Amino acid sequence: MNHPPGGRRPTALAPALTLALACLLLTDARGPSARGGETAMESKKTYRIIVFGAHPDDCELTTGGTAARWVDAGHAVKFVSLTNGDAGHHEISGGPLARRRREESVRASKILGVESQTLDNHDAELLPTLENRKAVARAIREWKADLVLAPRPNDYHPDHRYTGILVQDTAYMVAVPNFCPDTPALKTNPVFLYVADRFQQPNPFRPDVVVPIDPVFDRKVAALAEMDSQFFEWLPWIDGYLDQVPKDAAARKTWFKEQVLKRYGASADRFRDKLVDLLGPERGKAVQTAEAFQVCEYGRQPNRAELLEFFPFFGEAAK
């Protein structure tokens, strides 16, 4: 039921993790060099970023590395799951599963340094209703978001599709005072971004921003590993590789890190040309793992300088 967003239904944990990828740019002052060859920089202001996913683990998969980098740079990040994940398992369900997945999300959020919220909608039953649209709008307004991230509304999983639609449907309404007036409207419309996927129809994902996550890769792995109901139980069972999951804790940790590295290493390779273009040949080729994002045509449209200001990770080569 809850396959991670991003393309074909995965058949192994590496594919069962397949998203997108990474690179970026900014302004002048150069900071300390990071593992992927990129340069950390100071932003001109502190930004508030909110990320939406259909299930507990979706935000962590699509944006976990970038979120950790944002937090390290002093920005505020919140993950919101629009369902409670109560159908995403082969042995447990309902309230017990929802509570377990919420606990997993809380542990993961502490590792990444983000805030986390799970809405009480049933897994596999999310619909783009007015009530849910208002809930998304309230979350964006209450967070006073500068940047909003969500999946595109073309995906094999209905919950993923409707998450994308619900967030799209707020891209204008969050600034309309008479819509959902119980929560004050934002004075400035946020920039909306899509997280990466591999779907080709009706149009393929086009990265506007690719973020190297090498400096925080181990934190991302550790956060995902807290979601053991998904990555060590449910996804291996539904995709037929449960027998490959090591029983020994140390061996399992090594195995899982290799799977995550394959997924986000594939992302870096997929957008290697973009990485080289933005970081230069030496630094671009050095990036091992990445996440990627596309500007949504709804919401406020940033110019290049503003878009790159949201991602304070790169230095002169990004100009």
Q: What is the 3-state secondary structure (H, E, C) of 76-90?
A: EEEEEECCCCCCCCC
Measured at the CA of 205, the angle between CA 82 and CA 281, to 5 degrees, comes to 120
CB burial of residue 36 (10 Å; 0-12, 13-18, 19+): buried
- Taking each helix axis from N to C end, the angle separating 158-170 and 130-143, rounded to the nearest 10 degrees, works out to 60
State the pLDDT confidence band at 276, using cuts at 50, 70 and 90.
confident
Distance (Å, rounded) from C-alpha 174 to C-alpha 171?
Answer: 6
Q: Which of 192 and 280 is assigned the larger pLDDT?
A: 192
**Residue-range domain boundaries for the chain:** 15-26+44-306
Summarised one tens digit per residue, pLDDT across range 138-157 is 999 999 999 999 999 999 99
Q: Which of 299 and 2 is assigned the larger pLDDT?
A: 299
Summarised one tens digit per residue, pLDDT across range 66-111 is 999 999 999 999 999 999 999 999 999 999 999 999 999 999 999 9
State the pLDDT confidence band at 41, using cuts at 50, 70 and 90.
low
Cα-based distances in Å from 206 to 63, 159, 194, 196, 255: 16, 22, 10, 8, 31
CA 4 to chain centre: 10
End-to-end CA distance of the chain: 42
Average pLDDT over residues 239-258: 97
Average pLDDT, the chain: 88
pLDDT at 312 over 70: yes
The pLDDT value recorded for residue 27 is 29
State the pLDDT confidence band at 10, using cuts at 50, 70 and 90.
very low
Say whether pTM exceeds 0.85. Answer: yes
CB burial of residue 23 (10 Å; 0-12, 13-18, 19+): buried
Q: CB of 76 within 8 A of CB of 113? A: no
The CATH number of 15-26+44-306 is which of 3.40.50.10320, 3.40.640.10, 3.40.50.2000, 1.20.120.1200? 3.40.50.10320
Average pLDDT over residues 22-44: 41
The pLDDT value recorded for residue 316 is 55
The pLDDT value recorded for residue 3 is 55
pLDDT at 1 over 50: no
Q: Which of 278 and 129 is assigned the larger pLDDT?
A: 129
The pLDDT value recorded for residue 43 is 58
Percentage of residues of the chain with pLDDT beyond 90: 78
Percentage of residues of the chain with pLDDT beyond 70: 85
Instruction: Dihedral sign for Cα 269, 272, 278, 282, please.
Output: positive
Q: CB of 167 within 8 A of CB of 192? A: yes
The pLDDT value recorded for residue 21 is 33
Average pLDDT over residues 195-224: 96
Element (H, E) at 231: none
pLDDT at 15 over 50: no
Instruction: Dihedral sign for Cα 132, 134, 136, 138, please.
Output: negative
The pLDDT value recorded for residue 2 is 56
pLDDT at 28 over 80: no
